Structure 1
Amino acid sequence: MDQALLSDSSRVLAGILFLSLVTVETGGLYLVRVVTGRAGTTPFQEKFARAGHAHAGVLLVLALVCLVFVDQTDLTGAWEWLARAGVAVAALLMPGGFFFSSMGAGRERPNRLIALVFAGAVLLALSLATLGVGLLVAV
């Protein structure tokens, strides 16, 4: 093969993302405790634990997929960073928002850290749009 499938930047980030998926797997053990009633959570906290766990796994896998495509664009600078790493950062912000906004004994409503979910959603949309446009205009 003449050309590497991934740039060095994408390869390194992919390694980090694969290791991060192991943390999602171990987080699944906590989720088992939640859904079996052994974690002492409210129904609200159970819903947010499920949402946080699901978003973490799906967004990390999506971030891995994006790495293959960003190397096929002509993006540079901040645009390249946004397309390459934005989904990965959103994979931290969104689940973090679900988890941190629901922490605390007996919590029934999210605290102000729910803003992380919305910040992650904006970053996710911008990253995917940047990558999509980058692919459409690539030479």
Structure 2
Amino acid sequence: MGTADRWLTVIALVSVPTVMVGGYTLMRLTAAGRLDAFQLALFRAGHAHAGVLLVLTLTALGIAARAGLSDPYTWVVGGLLAAGTISQSGGFFLHAAIGRPGAWSFGNTMTVGGAAALTAALLALAHGVATG
């Protein structure tokens, strides 16, 4: 495992408890009736995406390590994965805070940008594995 694989994996693993706290927060806000149906749906989507995308990140970093990708290449892939995960899941939370049902907000734009970053990361990883 290279330096990039090691540090990016540590960052992803340390991020997992933040998703766990998010689940607890979702449970508390739901029990207290503090979220309307629109906010609840988006909070759930943001929380689920964050957890799944962290698992994807850990899997992708394992693939990068096994493929023996260079540290600079792995930093690029890891950076795109981190930016994509934060943007995609964070966009749901932002839209819940500032958006309205049926209307576009910057939260939607963040979510789409996150999807683009994740796509770029996975295509770069696939390229690195195929040519590595």
TM-score past 0.5 threshold: yes
Match of 2:119 in 1: 125
Count, aligned residues: 130
Identical counterparts, % of pairs: 32
Whole-Å separation in 1 of the counterparts to 2:10 and 2:86: 16
Letter in 2 for 1:22: P
5 Å-filtered alignment, 1:1-139, equals 6-36=1-31, 38-71=32-65, 72-74=67-69, 77=72, 79-103=73-97, 107-108=100-101, 111-138=105-132
RMSD over aligned Cα atoms: 2.1
Q: Deviations over 1:3-22 (max 9, x none)?
A: xxx21111111111111100
Check the 8 A contact 1:21/1:60 in 2, yes or no.
yes
Whole-Å separation in 1 of the counterparts to 2:71 and 2:21: 36
Match of 1:3 in 2: none
Whole-Å separation in 2 of the counterparts to 1:81 and 1:40: 40
CA shift, 1:111, in A, is: 2.7
Provide structure 1 residue ranges, at least 5 long, that are not aligned to the other structure: 1-5
Instruction: Choose 1 or 2 for highest CA Rg.
Output: 1
TM-score between both structures, scaled by the size of structure 1: 0.82
Provide structure 2 residue ranges, at least 5 long, that are not aligned to the other structure: none
Whole-Å separation in 2 of the counterparts to 1:110 and 1:51: 16
Whole-Å separation in 2 of the counterparts to 1:20 and 1:124: 17
